[in-house]
Structure 1
Amino acid sequence: MRIGIFTDAYLPLISGVTTSIYMLAEGLRKEGHEVYIITTSGKNVVEEPYVIRLKGMPIPKKGLKTFRIVPFTKGHIKKIAALNLDVMHVHTEFSIGSVAVHMRDKYGIPMVFTVHTMYEEYLHYVSKFLARFLRRPLMHYLKKLMKRFILRADVTITPTQKVLDLMKSYDIHGHYEIIPTGIKLDKFVGENYTQEQVSTLKQSLGIQPDEFVYLFLGRVSKEKSIPVLINAFAEIHKDVKAKFLIIGDGPAMNELKDLVETLGIKDKVIFTGFINWNQVGLYYQLGDAFLNASVTETQGLTYIEALAASLPVIVKYDSCLLDVIQEFDNGLFFRQNNELPYLMKRIYEDPELRNKLTKNAYKSIEKYSQECYSSNALKAYQKAIEIKKAE
């Protein structure tokens, strides 16, 4: 099968979406399919076979500086049509997605669409003023945009029931399939890294061998609620021999560094900044517990990565995580922010609980393997082709 994956974001940009697309493409190729990534141009990109980059313009907003908008999308149809695609899988509602819509309208190519983003929590990237004072019309526009794709898609994929319920609350009807995003689990397993690799990396970051490490990994941005984690760590840092490691980069970095300095914990919090995606698995090995306070995830791939690395997770309760986190079996939920310091201290002081969560972590997420994801996606593609033929 010749498959086109359409996305506005792709490597080297690191995010849950880019990771899931890379994993999907690799899994599909392992099964013998020809997969093309249609995406935007950008800085520091490496030319790769089967990755087609359409020239895009940078967005003049700090929080969106890594993204590109492709103008005149109809002008790219001829180039993409030459790929003779059997099915298109669209991962964006914006410019690259419009290229796929034009392709569908002109050539009738079956189309699958995946909903990735909870836009209510991302409006501030466009404009803080508009997000505050014109939230309703902005959401009306985004719902119309989403509807445009879902109505055209032969199959729409949502990663969780939470996202499906949101689409239904928008009164957008379509042929939905719930397919959790998969990852390459082996990349995060501790046995694939030597103790020397882990010790060397710890030393380079200034982490002592006997220090407990709380770890956050992800985009350093407002919707991730990282100040909740920093404030909780500040509350307990005198009672624990620990460091807080924040792995990743993003528009909130300076604000978080200022907060750490204000709280007087600059020597206890480590910001790595951007790290290469190929190094992510090793960085997880530095942690003793994974923290996250976000409630804007559509699935939470970093939670699954952390569990694959056998880390106990302490995360803010969110319905999208109910299939991922089994409380007091492979992780802990906090409902209110003031519960987090207690749980962080408990995981530090209670080796029996920590060992139980560690033991159960990996086996709890085997269903999120790359193989399961690509197999389920293929079923969705075949369904889309059947629906198209029946029209």
Structure 2
Amino acid sequence: MNGRLSQMDIAIVKHTYTPTGGAEQELLRYVLPKAKSVTYISHPFRDARDVPLNTQISMFENGELRKEISAPLFRGPFPLMAMKDIIFTVWYLKKMRRRIHLYFGVDNLNAFSGIVLRRLGVVDRVVYYVIDYAPDRFRRPFMQSLYRRLDRWCCYDADAVWNVSAAMEDARKAHGFDSGRSAPQIEVPLGNWYDESPKTSPNGSDNGLIVFLGTLAREQGLNLVIEALPKIRKRIPNARLRVIGSGPEMEPLKSLAHEMRVADSVEFLGFIQDGAKAAALLAEGAVAVAPYLYGDNIFKRFADPGKVKLYLAAGLPVVISRVPPVAELIERSGAGIAVEPAVNEIGSALENLLLSPGKISAMRENALELGKKFDWIGIFDRAFGRTFECWVVQNN
């Protein structure tokens, strides 16, 4: 694998909300010591937080950063921003006058840019890397139709499709997708850097600390945990919640904690850019939560939540709603409890665990065992191996 990548010039093009995190950043970390060169282009979403609102380009050679460039700032409505990102990607990579052997387009807009570049002779192979997918993403019919058509076209015309969950392919089929016309679809789940992840203490399971990591958005369902906390604390007085992350629901959630009279038991730490620090704060917990809500436009119904893999790597038992596909695996592996996204079910599951240190200890071992299977090195080794195998078969 290393020998093959060592001859390659690679481009990774993504959109971002936050300065750090995301599968595309983990992909960059994986390929940097292996590839001949990597061009990393990050387009901010128009409502991105804590990042410059102009496109950033980082260029690496033999694993070393050689150049960083900031594009001119451009603001406008979503359609104009999308067109700007496509045009900029095509223009910039074409003017580099360097052949890109392997292009990763993270989302359909960036995959579209890669396919255009391949037709222009700039790119050899395009991988459409799908992190989030929801068949009913937009409320406006025109935007929804455009989204599905672009996703379908990228699947048909890319050289490979990396889906973070097999549920994505099933969701496409339900809306008329022809798998026979698609590029090879390969499941590439989200992962963790297992050996680097701080682990929970085997003796710390009675500390009552519930932890949450992620964007504070409505679909994350964190309000359910806060609403359940008063009842939990009646039986477990030291129960408290630590929230790592920021987002549009930060202030409403703080208000809810005051309304439920548990503000002193909920710790809002905001977004922590230092991943090692965030992981250490997680590992102080007794149990972790991932209470996603249902909804046709909720990505997690078809995606693979990254926070869960971090929980597992830390040895945290997970109380998770049955919304994302990984919930079934967690329950089947004895690494947590899967419930419906309702206050009483989440509260009962948390009480059950926090009152049973022995159960937490057993689930801790199961979580560590499961988390080890999602180490990024193994995930990307398998993904590249399967991708190259598919291309060899096609060429023959």
Decide: shared fold, TM above 0.5: yes
**Count of aligned pairs:** 355
**2:348 and 2:28 mapped to 1: Cα distance?**
41
Distance 1:249 1:52, change over 3 A: same
Verify the 8 A CA contact 1:87 1:381 in the aligned structure 2.
no
**1:217 and 1:324 mapped to 2: Cα distance?**
20
2:239 equivalent to 1:236: no
Paired position in structure 2 for 1:355: 361
Q: Give me the TM-score of the superposition, normalised by structure 1.
A: 0.80
Letter in 2 for 1:226: L
Equivalent residues in 2 for 1:71-90, closer than 5 Å: 71=84, 73-81=86-94, 82-90=97-105
The structure where helix makes up a greater share of residues is 1
Paired position in structure 1 for 2:74: 57
Equivalent residues in 2 for 1:7-156, closer than 5 Å: 7-9=14-16, 12-14=19-21, 18=22, 20-40=23-43, 42-43=51-52, 48-50=58-60, 54-55=71-72, 57-58=74-75, 69=82, 71=84, 73-81=86-94, 82-94=97-109, 96-107=110-121, 109-119=124-134, 123=138, 131=139, 134=140, 136-156=141-161
**1:121 and 1:252 mapped to 2: Cα distance?**
22
DSSP-derived class of the 1:71 partner? helix
Paired position in structure 1 for 2:47: none
Deviation at 1:247, TM superposition (A): 0.7
Distance 1:13 1:31, change over 3 A: closer
**2:84 and 2:101 mapped to 1: Cα distance?**
25
Verify the 8 A CA contact 2:304 2:324 in the aligned structure 1.
no
Deviation at 1:318, TM superposition (A): 3.4
Residue by residue, what CA displacement relative to the aligned partner does 1:87-134 show, whole Å, maximum 9, x if unpaired? 11111123x4443232122116211112221335754xxxxxxx3xx4
Deviation at 1:248, TM superposition (A): 0.1
Distance 1:176 1:48, change over 3 A: closer
Paired position in structure 2 for 1:204: none
Deviation at 1:373, TM superposition (A): 2.0
CA RMSD of aligned residues (A): 3.1
Distance 1:256 1:336, change over 3 A: closer
Equivalent residues in 2 for 1:99-248, closer than 5 Å: 99-107=113-121, 109-119=124-134, 123=138, 131=139, 134=140, 136-172=141-177, 173=179, 174=182, 175-190=184-199, 211-240=207-236, 241-248=238-245
Paired position in structure 2 for 1:259: 256
Instruction: Give unpaired runs (5+ residues) of structure 2.
Output: 1-7, 45-50, 61-67, 294-298
Higher RCO, 1 vs 2 (CA within 8 Å, ≥6 residues apart): 1
Residue by residue, what CA displacement relative to the aligned partner does 1:185-206 show, whole Å, maximum 9, x if unpaired? 1232328x9x9xx9xxxxxxxx
Once the two structures are overlaid, the 10-residue window that deviates more, 36-45 or 226-235, is 36-45
Deviation at 1:346, TM superposition (A): 1.1
2:348 equivalent to 1:342: yes
Paired position in structure 1 for 2:63: none
Aligned counterpart for 1:368 among listed residues 374, 379, 383:
374
Letter in 1 for 2:283: Q
Q: Give me the TM-score of the superposition, normalised by structure 2.
A: 0.79
Deviation at 1:284, TM superposition (A): 1.1
Paired position in structure 2 for 1:271: 268
Letter in 2 for 1:275: I
